């Protein structure tokens, strides 16, 4: 549990920002493996190769068989872009307002409801087995991998080995590497299929290897705990098992928005929340305050309850969230690519605004505004 809490907040932030597994441009001397809209490349590094030889010996001493080592270690390469991402996580930090806008966007709620309908029988079985409400399991799925659409395709063994070699959190990531090899040795997954995010989180519900070992379940009964497959059965059940074994109280709330709450993620001027019995349980999955509330509010919306009531003030350009969403939708109707219209102003929206301004002969600022919305 400590491993998961230590690790997961930054990964969830990357998932929400659409950057999970995306580590920038590739390096020289090697083939590049496509990762979402970007590429990650294996780069020759003799010093890494020497470290890897030592890691192989340590893995063998921990009970990893020669067969597993022979299958796994030839697939491991040095991924400098993974280190680059690890060192620059601060760039993915978002305000609470932006985080919630993405976590509970129209499309994320709509997709979640569609998934609850599509997998209705599965969710019912999981809820009956583990006592975790189906909307909560779906909300975790929605935030961790956007309902399985962003599971990541960076080779897990290479990512973990690279981060262990780098040394900043070497002992932690070498522990994850050994755990990943144990998972392969058990027969749950092959080295070629063991892919995930830049830091080794895997599958629909983004388990790191030690969390997988502790909580993953074979819910479909095929003999493997397969959280990577397009079929989300084992992954969703594993997330429910995780929450159940950490004390989930069936029928209790995660928390609620309240005037006198003691949780204020956006400061004195933002919304306040009171924690319910399951608040700390969600914190076992990911101890980031934004994440817990994001899962909570998304699950409320999926269950037909209300969303966030607090109305944030206007931004530096005088626009509120609803204005920014209207602007993005108007730009999209005009043929500009803004990504998902969620009210969060990112590079795509800025580029679209600049292109629109240029096409109209306006001063090119890239700044959304009420005046620009009126022109659109």
- Please check whether residue 153 is in contact with residue 21, taking contact to mean a CB–CB distance below 8 angstroms: yes
Long-range contacts of 44-51 (CB under 8 A, 24+ apart): 44/78, 45/78, 45/80, 48/78, 48/161, 48/162, 48/165, 49/78, 51/165
Does residue 186 have a pLDDT over 50?
Answer: yes
Give the pLDDT confidence score for residue 23 in this predicted structure. Answer: 25
d(CA 200, CA 212): 11
Give the pLDDT confidence score for residue 40 in this predicted structure. Answer: 81
- State whether CATH 1.50.10.20 applies to domain 92-146+247-302: no
What are 149-165's pLDDT values in tens digits? 999 999 999 999 999 99
- Please check whether residue 273 is in contact with residue 258, taking contact to mean a CB–CB distance below 8 angstroms: yes
Does residue 49 have a pLDDT over 80?
Answer: yes
Q: What is the mean pLDDT of the chain?
A: 90
Mean pLDDT, rounded, for 43-59: 98
Give the pLDDT confidence score for residue 93 in this predicted structure. Answer: 76
2-90+149-234: CATH class: mainly alpha
What are 305-361's pLDDT values in tens digits? 999 999 999 999 999 999 999 999 999 999 999 999 999 999 999 999 999 999 999
d(CA 209, CA 194): 10
32 pLDDT band, cuts 50/70/90, is: very low
How many Cβ atoms are within 10 Å of 180's Cβ, its own excluded? 28
Backbone angles phi, psi at 190, to 5 degrees: -95, 160
d(CA 208, CA 182): 13
Does residue 18 have a pLDDT over 80?
Answer: no
What are 63-99's pLDDT values in tens digits? 999 999 999 999 999 999 999 998 886 555 789 999 9
What are 202-227's pLDDT values in tens digits? 999 999 999 999 999 999 999 999 99
Q: How do strand 38-41 and strand 273-275 relate by DSSP bridges?
A: unpaired
Q: What percent of the chain has pLDDT over 70?
A: 89
The DSSP string of 291-342 is: HHHHHHHHHHHHTT-----------TTS--HHHHHHHHHHHHHTT---SS-S
Sequence length of the chain is: 376
Q: Coil, helix or strand for 274?
A: strand
d(CA 62, CA 180): 12
Give residue limits of the domains in the chain: 2-90+149-234, 92-146+247-302, 321-375
Give the pLDDT confidence score for residue 209 in this predicted structure. Answer: 98
What are 263-309's pLDDT values in tens digits? 999 998 899 999 999 999 999 999 999 999 999 999 999 999 999 99
- Please check whether residue 9 is in contact with residue 91, taking contact to mean a CB–CB distance below 8 angstroms: no
């Amino acid at each position: 549990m400590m491993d998961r809490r230590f690790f997961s907040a930054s990964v969830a932030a990357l998932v929400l920002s659409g950057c999970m597994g995306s580590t920038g441009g590739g390096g020289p001397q090697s083939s590049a493996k496509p990762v979402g809209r970007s590429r990650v490349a294996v780069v020759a590094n003799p010093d890494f190769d020497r470290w890897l030889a030592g890691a192989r010996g340590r893995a063998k001493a921990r009970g990893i068989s020669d067969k597993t080592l022979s299958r796994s270690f030839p697939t491991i390469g040095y991924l400098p872009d993974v280190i680059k991402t690890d060192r620059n996580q601060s760039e993915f930090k978002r305000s609470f307002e932006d985080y919630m806008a993405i976590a509970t966007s129209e499309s994320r709620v709509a997709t979640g409801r569609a998934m609850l309908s599509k997998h209705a029988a599965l969710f019912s079985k999981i809820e009956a087995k583990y006592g975790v409400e189906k909307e909560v399991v779906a909300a975790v799925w929605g935030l961790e991998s956007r309902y399985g659409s962003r599971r990541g395709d960076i080779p897990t063994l290479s990512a973990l080995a690279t981060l262990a070699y780098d040394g900043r959190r070497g002992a932690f990531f070498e522990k994850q590497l050994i755990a990943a090899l144990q998972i392969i040795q058990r027969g749950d997954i092959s080295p070629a299929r063991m892919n995930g995010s830049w830091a080794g989180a895997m599958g629909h519900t983004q388990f790191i290897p030690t969390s997988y070992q502790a909580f993953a379940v074979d819910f479909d009964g095929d003999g493997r705990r397969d959280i990577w497959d397009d079929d989300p059965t084992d992954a969703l059940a594993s997330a429910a098992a995780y929450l159940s074994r950490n004390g989930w109280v069936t029928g209790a709330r995660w928390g609620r928005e309240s005037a006198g709450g003691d949780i204020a993620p956006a400061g004195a001027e933002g919304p306040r929340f009171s924690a319910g019995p399951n608040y700390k349980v969600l914190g076992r999955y990911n101890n980031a305050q934004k994440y817990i509330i994001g899962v909570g509010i998304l699950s409320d919306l999926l269950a037909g309850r209300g969303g966030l009531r607090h109305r944030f003030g206007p931004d530096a350009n005088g626009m509120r969230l609803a204005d920014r969403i209207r602007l993005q939708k108007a730009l999209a109707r005009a043929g500009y690519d803004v990504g998902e219209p969620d009210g969060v102003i990112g590079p795509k929206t800025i580029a679209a605004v600049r292109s629109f301004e240029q096409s109209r002969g306006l001063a090119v600022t890239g700044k959304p505004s009420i005046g620009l919305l009126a022109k659109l």
